[in-house]
Structure 1
Amino acid sequence: MFITLFSFTLIGLINEFNAFQSITSIVKESVYEEDFVFHSNSYIYDEDGEIISDVYSNENRIYVPYNDIPQMFLYAMIATEDRNFFSHKGFDMAGITRALFINAEKQGIEQGGSTITQQLVKNIYLSNERSYNRKLTEVLYAYHLENLFSKEDILEFYANTIYFQNGVYGIEAASRFYFSKSAKQLSVSELAFLAAIPNNPTLYNPMISPENTHRRKEWILTKMFEMNYLTEEQFKTAKSEKIALTPTKKVDRFPDYITYIHFELEQLVGEQDGFNTEIALATTTEEKSVLLEKRRLRVDQLLKSGIHIYTGFQSEKQNQVIQTIKKHLPENDIQGVAVMINHYTHEIVAITGGKDFNKFDFHRGFQAYRQPGSSIKPLLVFAPYFAETNSPINKSISAAPFCKDSYCPQNYGGSVYGNVRIDVALKHSYNTAAVRMLDEITVEKGFSYLEKFNFAKTVDEDYRLPAALGGLTFGVSPLELTKAYTTFANDGIFQDARGIQKVVDQNGKLLYQWEDKPKQVWSSEVNEKMLNLLTKVVTEGTGRKANFTSSYIGGKTGTTNEFFDLWFVGLTENYTTGVWVGQDQPQSLASINSRSPHLLIWRDIMKE
């Protein structure tokens, strides 16, 4: 009987040992170094290096390496959470035994006896369930972690993952959230104050129960002193120090510009990582959708890794543009946007999405495609005409009635003209002259110049004479049109304007940067003629209300049929700006056309 009982017991022990070995193997196979790459906040900066947007969703975390974590904070956590941290192998048998006796006495799970490593395991892999099964799993994971990482690594992970209430994770984000400064700038007392929160974030929430936080802070300082982490003088100084919270809110300003930057970031990543090429070559809607989702996930991954996005944004100009549009468009149902580009740096310094714009709403600045009206003439007709014919600006051109293949355009108000000079035809925006000029050089030749501006929605059906007056299938966006006009400011050379200067990682390593190459669209001689003509539009023609004293000023108006859209795009010595006014569901703006809000908006923006 004894031999039989012993045999069964031995078999049971072997099975238990095999089961333990199996669990250990599963734990080893379940732990990866990639699990310890944590989300971190990303930031968007203006041209002066000021943060204009903290980018994070649910977890406010600023990941910092071990050497940037204040030593006194680590001492505070070790003194109160895990005194034997540097000597154990992931679990503390004395602590576990003590917890078992207390739990037996209380007839429940009252204490866990968890080490810092076990707490890290719980944060990464396990739930907050209180059970012995979970505790055993926790111990196994902790033991394996201690073999995989150094003690310093584990402290780094722990300090960056613990929860400080109010959506804040990690010591650096907590320091900036509660004290508006880096953790390296905190005093011993302030560090102990923060160290009090993770033990029970709800109970020790300093925004609601600061007295609880202060009480635990005092206890933490005492434990640090007992462990000889503080001298008597440091201890007394820390206990007597008054704690003053200076909480900060998430920085998220200028929704118009930030929304655009998120869009441009996706385009930049797509361009550099090859997604855009694959999307363009996709043959089915399903294939394209899959690629678009992959690109979006890649950008999301980058933003969670803690990148820094530097832009050419100028807050003063953005604010001025927003206020100017509101001033000249008080009507609730009429929208207006403006895009401002520094045509020397090729940077978008301001862009609006519409009045009272909310982040990630439909952005009229780059997502609204509207008929450009006569504002397309300098790009599609006049500059190409000069380039192809080498004509002088005073050449005579017929503005008489014109018909071809049943297409018979009319001048504004049905007016009829005879022969006029080319500069007169542009400054007064004679339609019949423009259509006749495009017909002379051919539609295909005119579009060969327009193609260089990368308009996203020009299609084969647009290659017809009505395009000379802005008659396009889908139209253009205010951003696209403004970008194209920067060519006049750059001696006939086009270079795509961007908002993003560069994207770097947390260590300052360059990740992404636009590699746009300038394209010669027309010659310097042609460009000089166009600058002359655009000036006359403002000083003598349809754009007179936009005029003011400047070393250079020029531009072109655009009005679509039935006054659905009002445009003005022009430039001064430093900036090119485009303004669009209209309604989201196109309706006539005849009631406000006489006061020319698009011209007044442009003038007031550029005068500043």
Structure 2
Amino acid sequence: MELMTDQRFRKTIKYLRALFFLCFILACIMTLFIIGIIMYAKILGPPPLSVPQSTLYYDDNGTVIGESNNGQKRYWVNFNDISPHLVDATLAIEDRNYYEHHGFDYKRIAGAALADIKAMAKVQGASTISQQYARNLYLEHDKTWQRKLHEAFYTIRLEMNYTKEQILEGYLNTIYYGHGAYGAQAASQFYFGKDASELTLAEASMLAGIPKGPSIYSPLASLEKAKERQGVILSAMQGNHLIDEKAAQKAKQEELEIVGKHPHTQLVTAPYFQDAVHQELTDVLKLDERTIELGGLKVYTTLDLDQQKIAEETIAKQISEDSDIQIGFVAMNPKNGYVKAMVGGRDYEESPYNRVTQAERQPGSTIKPLLYYAALEQGFTPASTMRSELTTFKFDDGRAEYTPHNFNNKYAEEDLTMTQALALSDNVYAVKTHLFLGEETLVETAKRFGITSDMAKVPSLALGTSGVRVIEMANAYSMFANGGKKVTPVMIKKVENHKGEVIYEHDPEPEAALRSDLAFVMTHMMTGMFDKKLNGYASVTGSNIINDMTRTYAGKSGSTNTDSWMIGYSPQLVSAVWTGYDDSRPIEGRLDQMYAKNVWIQFMEEALEGTPEKSFKAPKGTVGVYLDPENGKLATKECPVRRYTYFAAGTEPTEYCTEHLLEHEEGAPKGKKNKHHEEHEDRVPWYKRVMPWS
């Protein structure tokens, strides 16, 4: 019996010895591991206190036009510029032993662990201010072991390389106080309308309670819960001997005036444009939201501040204040697609919805130049004629009918040339052309012009019944203005990261999308809306703004029951205007119908004032001749109206007008020059033949 006891004792000693050595080895490993972490942290040096930086936006000349904050208002202030009351209140509720530990409060960790075990759930946190700051700076807020290990390591690095005051300053400048306010300064201004240095004990104790749950303890969310949380903090401050009972009671009873408003809320410079740039950073450059808003980027845009100001002032001047009609306006450089000005609505604060880039509205007759360009490619010419009369088109073996109508139900009741049909905006001519080409032709042509909005293959598409975006139409007309080169709307020229490295630069390769000769022919046809020589059964559609013009423009207006458009250009500038109501109610009254044209002409005139007057230059492969605009035949001296018209070489008319010849010349052979035509050509000065608009 005694022998067995001795053996058991020796066996126990053996196990204890093994356990001791095992613990010793584990302790050594842990010590070496901790030393290794500390040495590694020392080698890495201080982690950067890289507080998220605002992204800056510049105009075309390098002037700052905006600063992003992603709804996060943050204004960094020095530690000495933060009220001591807020510092004490924050330490009392968040980390009472802050100045005593080195990043980790082990007693608090143990207490939190016991509380969690008892409740069988996570009910108490133990993160110190250093840990919270590390998490705010470098990590996401996901609850994983990997994140917690990274947090611990960053906390060690912070504590090893920065003073307690530096860490606390950083924490107070980065913590979230709700309602988009990050940091003590932004929070003080939002809640109390004062700087962080001016906070009273009552204000500071309430503010310090918000970060635990901004949606719960914000006085704007629940004043009752905010006061309860304030009381807890004041009691903690009293328990830490930071204030006495009298001060705590006084602070509890003090009535606070909550402002609830950020001091800088209005986007002053081109807010719709800045929103569109932000969207382009996301969609085109594929940058994430955090990088865009807080990555310290420098975004160099295409905006022209002078043109933007002209656009905004013109809209304010032209549209009646008591009207609730809306507007979408954009101006572009047709050579490169640079967006120079953008107004997406009457009032950004009232409605940030961008009617230039987001709204799809019926373009009406502004779609016709695209249709007629397709027709030119299919053999039509500016002199091609069709009869303008009330016409009912039948489909599906007579089971379906469509009857397009002209404005005021006026018709020529005779043949019109394509040039005159465009100038007068004849709908019958457009639908006939559309159906002749095939309903899919206009859809495919629109895609070539950069229009991505869906279009229905229906007869009425020729009259612009499928919605498009304003910026798409401006871009399409830019291709006419630049001679057929492919462009896309560009709002960002270059982007640099926080190190000054270029991460994006717009540098497109020139690419022909249209035939240059036909693009020019189409441009010349579009000058017709401002040429009274093309008046017929109705006046040309631009007749009411001709007197405001001081240079050559090409363009097209368009209207539906709910939409009014004007798009036009000079060789160096394109602008597009849409007006209408957001709820798509009918546009009534002559004034409302004229807003688009009036805004367009006033903008173009002011934006181009002081710049050289440029004419559209005819490219190789085009031929200009004088026509009788009513019948599309070569004009003679006897024709009362003659208009110089361009054609693709080889498609110009060869038949002369005989309707106005003198009696003794009525038998002049068709298709040949007569002496009067030759005399007429001789009398035309050379500069008129080279530049017929001179």
Common topology (TM > 0.5): yes
Q: Which residue is 1:425 aligned to? A: 421
- Structure 1, residues 241-298: CA drift from partner, whole Å, max 9, x if none? xxxxxxx96894331211111122222124xxxxxxxxxxxxxxxxxxxxxxxx7xx2
- Aligned with 2:354 (options 360, 363, 366): 363
Q: Which residue is 1:51 aligned to? A: 64
Deviation of the 1:38 alpha carbon: 4.5
> Given that residues 482 and 571 in structure 2 are in contact (C-alpha distance below 8 angstroms), is that contact kept between their aligned partners in structure 1?
no
Q: Does 1:353 align with 2:367?
A: no
Q: Does 1:498 align with 2:490?
A: yes
Q: Which residue is 1:124 aligned to? A: 134
Q: Which residue is 1:60 aligned to? A: 74
Q: Which residue is 1:572 aligned to? A: 570
Task: Assess, with a 3 A threshold, how the Cα gap between structure 1 residues 441 and 145 changes in structure 2: closer, same or farther.
Answer: same
- Structure 1, residues 51-94: CA drift from partner, whole Å, max 9, x if none? 211112436379xxxxxxxxxx99x99xxxxxxxxxxxxxxxxx
Deviation of the 1:370 alpha carbon: 0.7
Q: Does 1:435 align with 2:449?
A: no
Q: Which residue is 1:374 aligned to? A: 365
Provide the aligned C-alpha RMSD in A: 4.7
- Structure 1, residues 79-131: CA drift from partner, whole Å, max 9, x if none? xxxxxxxxxxxxxxxxxxxxxxxxxxxxx95771467999755521499xxxx
Structure 2 Cα separation of the partners of residues 594 and 53 of structure 1? 33
* 5+ long unaligned stretches in structure 1: 63-72, 78-107, 128-136, 179-196, 210-247, 271-294
3-state SS in 2 of match to 1:423: helix
Q: Which residue is 2:581 aligned to? A: 583
Q: Which residue is 1:407 aligned to? A: 402
* 5+ long unaligned stretches in structure 2: 1-11, 82-94, 105-127, 138-148, 201-262, 396-400, 533-539, 607-694
Structure 2 Cα separation of the partners of residues 139 and 519 of structure 1? 52
- Aligned with 1:264 (options 270, 277, 280): 280
Deviation of the 1:556 alpha carbon: 0.4
3-state SS in 1 of match to 2:57: strand
> Given that residues 496 and 516 in structure 1 are in contact (C-alpha distance below 8 angstroms), is that contact kept between their aligned partners in structure 2?
no
Q: Does 1:312 align with 2:302?
A: yes
Q: Which residue is 2:503 aligned to? A: 511
Deviation of the 1:320 alpha carbon: 2.2
> Given that residues 24 and 140 in structure 1 are in contact (C-alpha distance below 8 angstroms), is that contact kept between their aligned partners in structure 2?
no
- Structure 1, residues 548-590: CA drift from partner, whole Å, max 9, x if none? 3344212101011xx2110000012321000011001111212
- Structure 1, residues 516-564: CA drift from partner, whole Å, max 9, x if none? 455433222212221211111123310233333344212101011xx21
Structure 1 Cα separation of the partners of residues 551 and 367 of structure 2? 25
- Equivalences for residues 530-541 of structure 1 within 5 A: 530-540=522-532, 541=540
- Aligned with 1:447 (options 425, 443, 446): 443
Task: Assess, with a 3 A threshold, how the Cα gap between structure 1 residues 497 and 409 changes in structure 2: closer, same or farther.
Answer: same
Structure 1 Cα separation of the partners of residues 22 and 96 of structure 2? 27
Q: Which residue is 1:485 aligned to? A: 477
> Given that residues 268 and 514 in structure 1 are in contact (C-alpha distance below 8 angstroms), is that contact kept between their aligned partners in structure 2?
no
Structure 1 letter corresponding to 2:577: V
Task: Assess, with a 3 A threshold, how the Cα gap between structure 1 residues 303 and 602 changes in structure 2: closer, same or farther.
Answer: same
Structure 2 Cα separation of the partners of residues 435 and 19 of structure 1? 90
Q: Which residue is 2:649 aligned to? A: none
Structure 1 letter corresponding to 2:389: A
Q: Does 1:333 align with 2:324?
A: yes
Structure 2 Cα separation of the partners of residues 51 and 516 of structure 1? 25
- Aligned with 2:374 (options 384, 396, 416): 384
3-state SS in 1 of match to 2:285: helix
> Given that residues 566 and 580 in structure 1 are in contact (C-alpha distance below 8 angstroms), is that contact kept between their aligned partners in structure 2?
yes
- Aligned with 1:464 (options 458, 463, 469): 458
Deviation of the 1:326 alpha carbon: 2.4
- Structure 1, residues 433-475: CA drift from partner, whole Å, max 9, x if none? 111122222233333321113323224xx12321111122xx1
3-state SS in 2 of match to 1:596: helix
Task: Assess, with a 3 A threshold, how the Cα gap between structure 1 residues 301 and 339 changes in structure 2: closer, same or farther.
Answer: same
Structure 2 letter corresponding to 1:307: L
Structure 1 letter corresponding to 2:53: S
Structure 1 Cα separation of the partners of residues 129 and 589 of structure 2? 68
Q: Which residue is 2:630 aligned to? A: none
3-state SS in 2 of match to 1:467: helix
Task: Assess, with a 3 A threshold, how the Cα gap between structure 1 residues 17 and 599 changes in structure 2: closer, same or farther.
Answer: same
Structure 2 Cα separation of the partners of residues 251 and 507 of structure 1? 29
Structure 1 Cα separation of the partners of residues 32 and 264 of structure 2? 45
Structure 1 letter corresponding to 2:598: L
> Given that residues 40 and 61 in structure 1 are in contact (C-alpha distance below 8 angstroms), is that contact kept between their aligned partners in structure 2?
no
> Given that residues 577 and 596 in structure 2 are in contact (C-alpha distance below 8 angstroms), is that contact kept between their aligned partners in structure 1?
yes
Structure 1 letter corresponding to 2:281: L
**Structure number having the greater helix percentage:** 1
Task: Assess, with a 3 A threshold, how the Cα gap between structure 1 residues 204 and 251 changes in structure 2: closer, same or farther.
Answer: closer
Structure 2 Cα separation of the partners of residues 143 and 517 of structure 1? 50
> Given that residues 570 and 577 in structure 1 are in contact (C-alpha distance below 8 angstroms), is that contact kept between their aligned partners in structure 2?
yes
- Structure 1, residues 219-253: CA drift from partner, whole Å, max 9, x if none? xxxxxxxxxxxxxxxxxxxxxxxxxxxxx968943
Q: Which residue is 1:557 aligned to? A: 557
3-state SS in 2 of match to 1:579: strand
Structure 2 Cα separation of the partners of residues 204 and 23 of structure 1? 48
Task: Assess, with a 3 A threshold, how the Cα gap between structure 1 residues 34 and 334 changes in structure 2: closer, same or farther.
Answer: farther
Structure 2 letter corresponding to 1:262: H
Structure 1 letter corresponding to 2:65: I
Structure 2 Cα separation of the partners of residues 336 and 306 of structure 1? 33
3-state SS in 1 of match to 2:284: helix
Deviation of the 1:387 alpha carbon: 2.0
Task: Assess, with a 3 A threshold, how the Cα gap between structure 1 residues 158 and 429 changes in structure 2: closer, same or farther.
Answer: same
Structure 2 Cα separation of the partners of residues 471 and 585 of structure 1? 17
- Aligned with 1:394 (options 383, 386, 409): 383
3-state SS in 2 of match to 1:512: strand
Q: Relative to structure 2, which stretch is displaced further, 441-450 or 412-421?
A: 441-450
Structure 1 Cα separation of the partners of residues 552 and 420 of structure 2? 19
- Aligned with 1:525 (options 511, 517, 533): 517
Deviation of the 1:602 alpha carbon: 0.6
3-state SS in 2 of match to 1:521: coil
Deviation of the 1:143 alpha carbon: 8.4
> Given that residues 376 and 468 in structure 1 are in contact (C-alpha distance below 8 angstroms), is that contact kept between their aligned partners in structure 2?
yes
3-state SS in 2 of match to 1:123: helix
What's the % identity of the aligned pairs?
Answer: 20
> Given that residues 54 and 251 in structure 1 are in contact (C-alpha distance below 8 angstroms), is that contact kept between their aligned partners in structure 2?
no
3-state SS in 2 of match to 1:350: strand
- Equivalences for residues 150-229 of structure 1 within 5 A: 161=170, 163=172, 205-206=196-197
- State the aligned residue count: 451
3-state SS in 2 of match to 1:576: strand
Q: Which residue is 2:223 aligned to? A: none
- Equivalences for residues 74-85 of structure 1 within 5 A: none
> Given that residues 385 and 418 in structure 2 are in contact (C-alpha distance below 8 angstroms), is that contact kept between their aligned partners in structure 1?
yes
Q: Does 1:299 align with 2:289?
A: yes
Deviation of the 1:300 alpha carbon: 3.1
- For normalisation by structure 1, the TM-score amounts to 0.63
Structure 1 Cα separation of the partners of residues 336 and 295 of structure 2? 29
- Structure 1, residues 487-533: CA drift from partner, whole Å, max 9, x if none? 11100223102111121101221222345455433222212221211
Structure possessing the higher radius of gyration over alpha carbons: 2
3-state SS in 1 of match to 2:557: strand
Structure 1 Cα separation of the partners of residues 513 and 151 of structure 2? 69
